Amino acid sequence: MIRDFEYRQEDERIFAEEFRDRIPEKIYDSHVHLWAKDNLNISKAEYGIYKVYKPWTDFDYMEEFLYEDYMACAKQAFPGKRLMPMGFGSPFPQIDRDRTNAYILDTAQKKNMPFYYIPGQFEDMFETEQKLHLLKRKGFLGLKPYPDIPVVEGREAGIYDMLNRSALEYANKYGLYVVLHIPRKERLRSPDNRRELIECITEYPDIGFIMAHVGRAFTYYDVNGSIDFLLPHENVLFDTALINSETVLTYLLQNTDASRVLFGSDAPLAFARGKDITVNNRHYYVSENMVPWGMGPGEAVSPHFTFYIYEEIRAMLYASKQVYGKAETDPLEKIFYKNAADILNKRGIPDILL
């Protein structure tokens, strides 16, 4: 569980006043990281080394986040709604990839949870299939590669380092989905990323490519004009994980059909109290409690923050109002529920929330 999770009266009020009547009863959360403590391959004494880089490797803040933790947070923060995560492990070098995948496989089996498998840099996915029989497992959606996993010398990891040919061929052959965290500092402005993406999308047309975090667009500068080249390709979808910028989501909904947008929270971070702010076209984490990877209040300030996931939904509902006006029920139903249910359907998996 994350260290400082608590549900406050103020959260209850926000939920009732702003969200309850506008978001659907059933919600698939398409982007959730789950892992157990024993998936870590560093000792407690080393936690301090890694927590300065990013929230995801602050294991003092979140040592583990189990399926049960997610459900406990969701139940409190979304009273009366039914949420189901589409889960994957935590893709960082401080976590053992085999163990975090094994935890997900086991949880998926026990809880009927849809899931993605994190592939390795040189892993032959056809051999893995022989060993793990992923295709026969309940809830298997596809792959969740990540740029922090491949080890490359003297350059940034690219898409083929995260997704080797066997992974692409395997996913294409079986019509799987790939949740893609765009690599490289320049993200969708990187010519290498754009070239590799177009190659993958056209050479492997039976893969559903889900661009995580709207292609890692956390600010208007990141999204403006940069996702457009993907839009003619119907096998490209977008998840909104951790995006809490109204301008990014408005741009997305204005330019993309709602049938291609999936709500994702990026839990567990989604249940921290904070929000991204944009300053000079960059985004920064601001959190209620001071953390080494973000900005926080000075001692004289006592802020009243709510969860990232509430800020995400707030921004989504703002964008929805701008783009759909009063006709928002249908598109929001798609974004929070139906598009994910369609993915399950395409994979031959029963809709767990039905």
Site of interaction with Zn ion (CB under 5 A): 266
Phi-psi label, residue 345: left if phi above 0, alpha if psi -120 to 50, beta otherwise: alpha
Q: For Zn ion, which residue has the nearest CB? A: 266
| Least separation in angstroms between CB 146 and Zn ion | 8
| Least separation in angstroms between CB 181 and Zn ion | 7
Of how many residues is the chain composed? 354
| Least separation in angstroms between CB 22 and Zn ion | 25
| Least separation in angstroms between CB 350 and Zn ion | 26
Q: Which is nearer to Zn ion, 147 or 331 (CB)?
A: 147
Q: Which is nearer to Zn ion, 196 or 266 (CB)?
A: 266
- Measure the CA angle with vertex 349, ends 329 and 204; round to 5°: 90
Q: Which is nearer to Zn ion, 14 or 343 (CB)?
A: 343
Q: Which is nearer to Zn ion, 266 or 288 (CB)?
A: 266
- Measure the CA angle with vertex 138, ends 137 and 144; round to 5°: 75
| Least separation in angstroms between CB 273 and Zn ion | 18
Instruction: Please report the beta strands in 213-350, taking only residues with DSSP state E, as ranges in sequence order.
Output: 236-239, 261-262, 274-279, 282-287
Task: Report residue 174 as tokens.
Answer: 């079986």
d(CA 69, CA 65): 6
| Least separation in angstroms between CB 188 and Zn ion | 17
Burial 90-108 (b: 16+ CB within 10 A, else e): bbbebbbbebbbebbbebb
Q: Which is nearer to Zn ion, 90 or 287 (CB)?
A: 90
Task: Report residue 85 as tokens.
Answer: 């995560």
- The CA R_g of the chain, rounded to the nearest whole Å, is 19
Q: Is the separation of the CB atoms in 135 and 170 below 8 Å? A: no
Q: Which is nearer to Zn ion, 89 or 139 (CB)?
A: 89
